[in-house]
């Protein structure tokens, strides 16, 4: 079964064709980063206008080797995300599904991210799923595609959001994640000015699987005043920030693996491209855990993960129609089972 996937939830316009939920036939991603750079973040109105400009070109490219007549269903992200941006992809998908007389499959963006590792690995259930992106930091107990239990989340900023904010403080530009990641590799996280960094969100019963990042951003802002703002200092600050940010992700994830007695971990979302996080989670293999992720370009927003997840949603009978709406917030999935 060939599914055409469409993703426009934030600032990537993407279309892909995936067969049977695993074989990626095409995956075209047009990133608007260059457009939003000068604003230090995504401007929603500009994002939706540019999705509109690029959508058909991206679709044409994704369908270059697959005639439309071969498409069996159209999967599309309908939330959570920026409403104006989502509507561009959703309307395009509705038009295509209607004209082809094929099913429309609405896909949850977070569930699509979680599917990315499945595109490249045979992963048995159950596993712990960590989603770390610009909009979300989430821990799930995954017992099946349709049995996802949210066990932890951020109490304030998402980890990717913290990367972007600290990059702004350092005057590095947008998006901050890859820029800080690169600088951090050349810096020393253990310089004395940062020796009093707070240990983020202790493991109390309430917050055992939760994350918090706004305090880290503030801690960095305070300490910035204490050191000279040279290029060398920026590298050390980036390294100190990255060490704390990733330590928290790994600590809470390990809490979940141990408490739920699960031996498998899958990591997804834009921050899963982070070099230190990838290094740290790979170490878990030496402790007997199976660790899965996707290549870096499939960790950030792309339509292949939407088409893949759409295949599972289709099999579960979750079909949309012309009334299918877009939604902005994750609160549609409450803590607990899907």
Judged by the rule CB under 5 A, the positions of this chain that interact with Zn ion are: 133, 301
Using rule CB under 6 A, residue 163 touches ligand KG4: yes
7 binds, among Zn ion, ligand KG4, none (CB under 5 to 8 A by kind): none
Using rule CB under 6 A, residue 211 touches ligand KG4: no
User: Least separation, in Å, of the C-beta of 265 and ligand KG4?
Assistant: 18
Residues 94-133, mask of contacts with ligand KG4 (x by CB under 6 A): ---------------------------------------x
Using rule CB under 6 A, residue 10 touches ligand KG4: yes
Using rule CB under 6 A, residue 181 touches ligand KG4: yes
User: Least separation, in Å, of the C-beta of 178 and ligand KG4?
Assistant: 4
User: Least separation, in Å, of the C-beta of 108 and ligand KG4?
Assistant: 12
Among 103, 106, 187, 270, binds ligand KG4 (CB under 6 A): 270
Residues 274-303 that bind ligand KG4 (CB under 6 A): 274, 300-301
- A 10 A CB-CB count for 34 gives 7
Three-state secondary structure string covering the chain: CEEEEEECCCCEEEEEEEECCCEEEEEEEEECHHHHHHHCCCCHHHHHHHHHHHHHHHHHHHCCCCCHHHCCEEEEEEECCCHHHHHHHHHHHHHHHHHHCCCEEEEEHHHHHHHHHHHCCCCCCCEEEEEECCCCEEEEEEEECCEEEEEEEECCCCHHHHHHHHHHHCCCCCCHHHHHHHHHCCCCCCCHHHCCCCCCCCCCCCCCCCECCHHHHHHHHHHHCCCCCCHHHHHHHHHHHHHHHHHHHHHHHHHHHHHCCCCEEEEECHHHHCHHHHHHHHHHHHHCCEEECCCHHHHCCCCHHHHHHHHHHHHCCCCCCCCCCCCCCHHHCCCEEC
Tokens coding 289:
């855990």
62 vs 112, which CB is nearer to Zn ion? 112
117 binds, among ligand KG4, Zn ion, none (CB under 5 to 8 A by kind): none
Among 5, 84, 89, 177, binds ligand KG4 (CB under 6 A): 177
Using rule CB under 6 A, residue 21 touches ligand KG4: no
Which residues contact residue 202 at a Cβ distance below 8 angstroms, ignoring those fewer than 6 apart? none
Using rule CB under 6 A, residue 330 touches ligand KG4: no
User: Least separation, in Å, of the C-beta of 133 and ligand KG4?
Assistant: 3
Among 117, 135, 152, 308, binds ligand KG4 (CB under 6 A): 135
Among 28, 265, 267, 271, binds ligand KG4 (CB under 6 A): 271
103 vs 308, which CB is nearer to ligand KG4? 308
Contact 129, 256 (CB under 8 A): no
Using rule CB under 6 A, residue 79 touches ligand KG4: no
133 vs 255, which CB is nearer to Zn ion? 133
- Binding-site ranges for ligand KG4 (CB under 6 A): 10, 133-135, 160, 163-164, 175-178, 181, 269-271, 273-274, 300-301
């Amino acid at each position: 079964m060939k599914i055409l996937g469409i993703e426009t939830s934030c600032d990537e316009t993407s279309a892909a064709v995936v067969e049977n939920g695993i074989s990626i036939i095409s995956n075209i991603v047009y990133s608007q980063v260059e457009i939003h750079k000068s604003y230090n973040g995504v401007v929603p109105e500009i994002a939706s206008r540019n999705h509109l400009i690029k959508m058909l070109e991206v679709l044409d490219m994704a369908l270059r080797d697959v005639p439309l007549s071969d498409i069996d269903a159209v999967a599309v992200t309908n939330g959570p995300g920026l409403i104006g941006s989502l509507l561009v992809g959703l309307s395009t998908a509705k038009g295509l599904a209607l004209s082809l007389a094929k099913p429309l499959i609405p896909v949850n963006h977070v569930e699509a991210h979680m599917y990315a590792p499945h595109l490249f690995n045979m992963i048995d259930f159950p596993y712990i799923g960590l989603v770390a992106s610009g909009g979300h930091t989430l821990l799930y107990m995954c017992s099946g595609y349709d049995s996802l239990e949210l066990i932890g989340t951020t109490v304030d900023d998402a980890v990717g959001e913290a990367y972007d904010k600290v990059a702004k403080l350092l005057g590095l530009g947008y998006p901050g994640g890859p820029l800080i990641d690169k600088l951090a590799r050349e810096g020393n996280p253990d310089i004395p000015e940062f020796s009093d960094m707070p240990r983020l969100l202790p493991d109390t019963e309430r917050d055992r699987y939760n994350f918090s990042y706004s305090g880290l951003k503030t801690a960095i802002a305070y300490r910035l005043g204490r050191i000279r703002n040279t290029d060398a200092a920026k590298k050390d600050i980036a390294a100190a920030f990255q060490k704390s940010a990733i330590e928290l992700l790994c600590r809470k994830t390990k809490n979940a693996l141990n408490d739920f007695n699960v031996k498998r971990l899958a990591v997804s979302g834009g921050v899963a491209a982070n070099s230190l996080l990838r290094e740290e989670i790979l170490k878990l293999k030496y402790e007997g855990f199976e660790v899965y992720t996707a290549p870096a370009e499939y960790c950030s927003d792309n339509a292949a993960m939407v088409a893949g997840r759409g295949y599972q949603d289709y099999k579960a009978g979750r079909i949309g129609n012309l009334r299918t709406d877009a939604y902005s917030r994750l609160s549609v999935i409450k803590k607990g089972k899907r």
